[in-house]
A and B are shown apart, each in its own frame.
Chain A
Amino acid sequence: MPILPIEAYTSQEWLDREKRIIFGNSWQFAGFMEDLSDPGDYLTVQCGFQNILLVKGRDQRIRAFHNLCRHRGTQLLRAVGKKQKALTCPYHDWTYDLSGQLISVPEKEKEFPDLEIDKICLHKASVDIWRGMIWVHPKADAPSIIHYFDGIAEHLGPHDPMRLIEYPDTKIEKLIKANWKIVVENYIDVYHLAHLHSNTLQMYDHAKAEFGFVNDHYMFWEPLVKKYKDNLDQLIPYKRIAEMTDEYIGAYVPWLFPSLGLSETESSWSTFHVIPLAPDLTKVVLRSKLEPMTDWEYMRLGMKSGEAWKKIMGVDTKYKSEDPNDPMASGDFMEEDIFACEQQQKSLTNPLFSIAASAKQGESPIRNFQQIIAGWMKTEQN
């Protein structure tokens, strides 16, 4: 019954193959449009084994290159920053212009008399913008991003992320001691919502959730519970998203293959980016965007909604604990999820580990996801 073998979650060899086959061949999240706002701004993203360098040109187009010097392969740039005109390799100062063209080589006459500089260019990758997000693909001739996300637009929230604003203190980075697929499976597990999060996601009506796959991408929507909806004005934690009219209201929580979850709700729009670091270690980066508001509005709304929650919804945690750091008593659904993922990962190497049964409806997305992974892994020809 299990679709993927246990090694899929524990072995380095399997992860390496995923990096090559899946992460080396798909469109991946690289950030928000605003991350590269001015000419010369750059950032780097890891796509499996390949590090991709994105740089904005004076024409406002983003160029994507493999972050790999053509001389001896050194990574040209680190993380994020600003480069006005040229990219210079730290090792021997070979220099490229923003179109990736090699333009100078130190001691050229003496050391490389026959090198034809104008024939050497950084390896190109693909980049595009979709729904306010920058996406990269390691291949220069990647299929169009529109094609990649074909058919999913109608299942997403009405939000216009390009209009919304990221508040600096809403960015969260976490390390989770679990395989990246355990984290994904948790994200798309419908069965756990009413249980693990019985006291943290109770404002949504999990019994009425609608979900399913469009190609490799998972789509999910659920309505608000009546009590939350009826008192939304008082309970909503931030300004209501303008496009979230009564006709659309609910939580849209899709998973975009392979590594990005979205959480599009009545008051926020967030990305949940999963980055595999080791077979049992995953980094997640959460970023949220909100309706534009002043600091004062932001604070006032937070306080008002906090008060109202106590009164109307009642605040309680699933477990009581003396330990202030107990994730299960944190009242934070993300802490609960991390806890569950790590506990599950620990058991994978236990010789008694097996899955007794898988929920017909609520865990069907997990089986589907594993099937998709298995399908990708089969595509490699030796």
Chain B
Amino acid sequence: MSEQFHKLTVSKLEKPIKDAVRISFTLPKHLIKEFSYHPGQHLLIEFEIEGESYRRTYSLNSCPFLEEDLQISIKRVKAGKVSNFANDQLKEGDTLKVMKPKGRFFAQITAEAYKSYYLFAAGSGITPIFSILKSILVASPYSQVYLFYGNKNQDSILFNEELKSLQAEYKQRLEIVHILSNPGLWSSWESWKGKKGRINSREIEDFINHHPPIAQQTEYFICGPSSMNLDVRKSLMELGIPADLIHIEHFSANQDEGIRKIDSVDHANIELSYQKNSFHFEMKKGQTILQGLKENGIEVPYSCESGVCGSCVAKLREGSAEMKTCMALDDKDIEEGYILNCQALATSERLKIEIP
């Protein structure tokens, strides 16, 4: 029983920078409610390319507090099937199969809040962060935003123009610091006078020292490659920030990154309870639990199949399993025994799992 896709029409295509495309969708009236979202959430899209279908998740960069079309931005990834298709072949008026927005990485924004938000983004990781940033400025008038944004060079900064104009509009409430790992000498009119390097623990401490919070209630959002995310979180925790104030999203442009080889058990016995029914089946070596379920005709929820969306979550009651990647769960979930069916392989003979 996988969830429903809706056909959405591409209403607009733009090129914010050379190697990225920005896609807008206008929602038909009847879908507006279903597609309402929190800033930071993502869309799962199924692309049909040369007869094959590919599922990818993309964070929304639009702002749910404005009457804006849904919008995502896709940066070209070398040899990436989908990103190249989106950049080169997609046309306005095309339709794509899209699932309603989801994801647990989002900011709960209220008009009365008096908060300081620290946002950390690298590369395409800016997309959900941009949505959060804009939403805070638009919908939380007392709150302050501090953005630390890493890129390769001047020309790879997605949202550069948009950020500049927000900066001008919200002088008192927004501070942005860029850091470039490889600022180009020739790629821009002026030479780079800002920070050079990457977002690391020294830079983070420096950033926070230069931008101490005004409102004392703080929250931290991080989105970038997983190695950066973990570094930022570690640095923040070393500064004494409680883990529950730190939110992380791994951006999914390189969904191949960080996948582990797992030595799974052959013919593992699975007992599943789901919606008051129980199912028994046997799995093959190297199969994910989701693959095993599908092969046995058992319909369970899933969508991205890449460990990002969290819709295939299950609880392990007995036995052991290991996941290839698991961006949708945090350490606490894992400790409590939650797994993602699309990523989990059996590492014991017998497993008992339950879908909540």
Please report A residues at the B interface, Cβ cutoff 8 Å.
33, 57-62, 98-99, 127-129, 144-147
Q: Is the CB of B114 within 8 A of A146?
A: yes
- Residue-wise interface mask of B (84-127) relative to A, using a CB-CB cutoff of 8 A (1 in contact, 0 not): 00000000000000000000000000001110000000000000
| Residue interface bits B165-191, CB-to-A below 8 A is 1, else 0 | 000000000000000000000000000
Query: Which residue in A58, A99, A128 is a CB contact (below 8 Å) of B216?
Result: A128
Known contacts A128-B114, A146-B112, A146-B114: A58-B239 contact under CB 8 Å = yes
Chain A residue numbers with a CB within 8 Å of B209 are 60
Name the residue among A61, A62, A144 with the largest chain B CB count within 10 angstroms: A61
Contact check, B216 vs A61: say whether CB atoms are below 8 A apart.
Answer: yes
**Binary per-residue interface labels of chain B (280-315) against chain A in the complex, 1 for a CB within 8 Å, 0 otherwise:** 000000000000000000000000000000000000
Q: Does B214 contact A (CB under 8 A)?
A: yes
Give bound CA distance, A98 to B113, whole Å. 25
Contact with A along B196-238 (1 / 0, CB 8 A): 0000000001001101111111100000000000000000101
Q: Inside 8 A of B213's CB, which chain A residues have their CB?
A: 60-61, 129
Chain A residue nearest to B209 (CB atoms) is: A60
**Is A147 touching B239 in the complex (CB atoms < 8 A)?**
no
Report the nearest B residue to A160, measured CB to CB: B172
Report chain A residues within 8 Å CB of B239: 57-59
Let me know if B139 is at the binding interface, CB within 8 A.
no
Q: Which residue of A lies closest to B114 (CB)?
A: A146
Interfacial chain B residues near A128, Cβ < 8 Å: 114, 215-217
Can you report 21 residue pairs joining A to B where beta carbons are below 8 Å apart? A33-B212, A33-B214, A57-B240, A59-B208, A59-B241, A60-B208, A60-B211, A60-B212, A60-B213, A61-B213, A61-B218, A61-B240, A98-B240, A128-B215, A128-B217, A129-B214, A129-B216, A144-B114, A145-B114, A146-B112, A146-B114
Q: Is the C-beta of B142 less than 8 angstroms from some C-beta in chain A?
A: yes
Smallest Cβ distance from A129 to chain B, in angstroms?
A: 5
The docked-state distance in angstroms from the alpha carbon of A98 to that of B214 is 19
* Interface membership of chain B positions 299-336, coded 1 if the CB is closer than 8 angstroms to chain A and 0 otherwise: 00000000000000000000000000000000000000
Partner of B112, one of A33, A60, A99, A144: A144
B10-62 with Cβ < 8 A to chain A: none
Least distance between A149 CB and chain B CB atoms (Å): 10
Residues on A with C-beta less than 8 A from B113 are 144
Given the complex of chains A and B, what is the CA–CA distance between A59 and B209 in angstroms? 8
Q: List chain A residues, Cβ under 8 A from B217.
A: 128
Asked whether B214 lies within 8 Å of A58 as measured between CB atoms, the reply is no
Assembled-state Cα–Cα distance A59/B240 (Å)? 6
Question: For B142, B239, B240, B242, which residue has the most chain A Cβ atoms within 10 angstroms?
Answer: B240
Chain A residues within an 8 Å CB radius of B241 = 59, 61
Is B240 in contact with A58, judged by CB distance below 8 angstroms? yes
When distances are taken between beta carbons in the complex, the residues of chain B under 8 Å from A127 are: 216
Residue of A nearest to B142 (CB): A146
- How distant is the Cα of A58 from the Cα of B218 in the complex, in angstroms? 14
- CA gap between A128 and B211 in the complex, in Å: 16
The interface residues of chain B lying within 8 Å CB-to-CB of A147 are 112
Complex Cα distance, B116 from A62, in Å, reads 13
B240 contacts A99, CB within 8 Å? yes
Contacts of B211 in A (CB 8 A): 60
Among A59, A146, A147, max chain B CB count under 10 A is at A59
Chain A CB within 10 Å — which of B205, B212, B217 has the most? B212
Cβ distance A110 to chain B, nearest Cβ, rounded Å: 31
**CA–CA, A303 and B240, complex, Å:** 50
Q: Do residues B142 and A62 form an inter-chain contact, with CB atoms below 8 A?
A: no
CB A31 to nearest CB in B, in angstroms, measures 14
Q: Which residue of B lies closest to A97 (CB)?
A: B240
CA distance A85 to B233 in the complex (A): 20
A62 to B240, CA, bound (A): 11
Tell me the smallest distance from the CB of A32 to a CB of chain B, in Å. 13
CA separation between A144 and B217, bound complex, in Å?
Answer: 10
Shortest distance in angstroms between B287's beta carbon and chain A's nearest beta carbon?
Answer: 43
- Cβ of B242: which chain A residues have Cβ within 8 Å of it? 99
In the complex, how many angstroms separate the beta carbon of B3 from the nearest chain A beta carbon?
A: 38
One of B142, B214, B236 near A59 (C-beta < 8 A): B236
Q: Which residue of A lies closest to B210 (CB)?
A: A60
Q: Can you name 14 extra interface pairs (CB under 8 A) apart from A58-B239, A128-B215, A144-B114?
A: A33-B212, A57-B240, A58-B205, A59-B218, A59-B236, A59-B240, A60-B211, A60-B212, A61-B218, A62-B216, A98-B240, A99-B240, A129-B216, A144-B113
A64→B216 CA distance, assembly (Å): 11
Q: Please, how many angstroms separate the alpha-carbon atoms of A59 and B220 in the complex?
A: 11
Q: How far is the CA of A175 from the CA of B176 in the complex (A)?
A: 46
Q: CA–CA, A61 to B245, complex, Å?
A: 13
Kindly list the 6 A-B residue pairs having the minimum CB-CB distance in the complex, ordered from nearest.
A60-B212, A59-B239, A146-B114, A58-B239, A57-B240, A128-B216
Q: How far is the CA of A128 from the CA of B218 in the complex (A)?
A: 11
The complex places the Cα of A147 from the Cα of B240 at a distance, in Å, of: 28
In the bound assembly, the distance between CA atoms of A99 and B208 in angstroms comes to 18
Task: Kindly list chain A residues whose C-beta atoms are within 8 Å of the C-beta of B142.
Answer: 146
> Given the complex of chains A and B, what is the CA–CA distance between A127 and B217 in angstroms?
9
Set of chain B residues within 8 Å of A59, measured between Cβ atoms = 208, 218, 236, 239-241
Closest B residue to A37 by beta carbon equals: B212
In the docked arrangement, what's the CA distance between A74 and B217, Å? 29
Contacts of B240 in A (CB 8 A): 57-59, 61, 98-99
CA distance A8 to B217 in the complex (A): 37
Min CB distance B172 to A, Å, is 9
Residues on B with beta carbons closer than 8 Å to the beta carbon of A57: 239-240
> Quick one: closest B residue to A56, CB to CB?
B212
Complex Cα distance, B241 from A60, in Å, reads 10
Residue in chain B with minimal CB distance to A145? B114
* Bound Cα distance A98, B240 (Å): 8
Question: Which single residue of chain A is at the shortest CB-CB distance from B141?
Answer: A146
Q: When chains A and B are docked, how far (Å) is the Cα of A128 from the Cα of B238?
A: 22
Q: How far is the CA of A57 from the CA of B239 in the complex (A)?
A: 7
CB distance from B260 to the nearest CB of A (A): 32
Bound CA span A145–B142, Å: 11
Q: How far is the CA of A381 from the CA of B302 in the complex (A)?
A: 56
- A127 CA / B241 CA spacing, docked (Å): 16
Residues of A within 8 A of B216 (CB): 61-62, 127-129
| Bound: A367/B271 CA distance, A | 76
Could you say which residues of chain B place their CB within 8 Å of the CB of A60? 208-209, 211-213
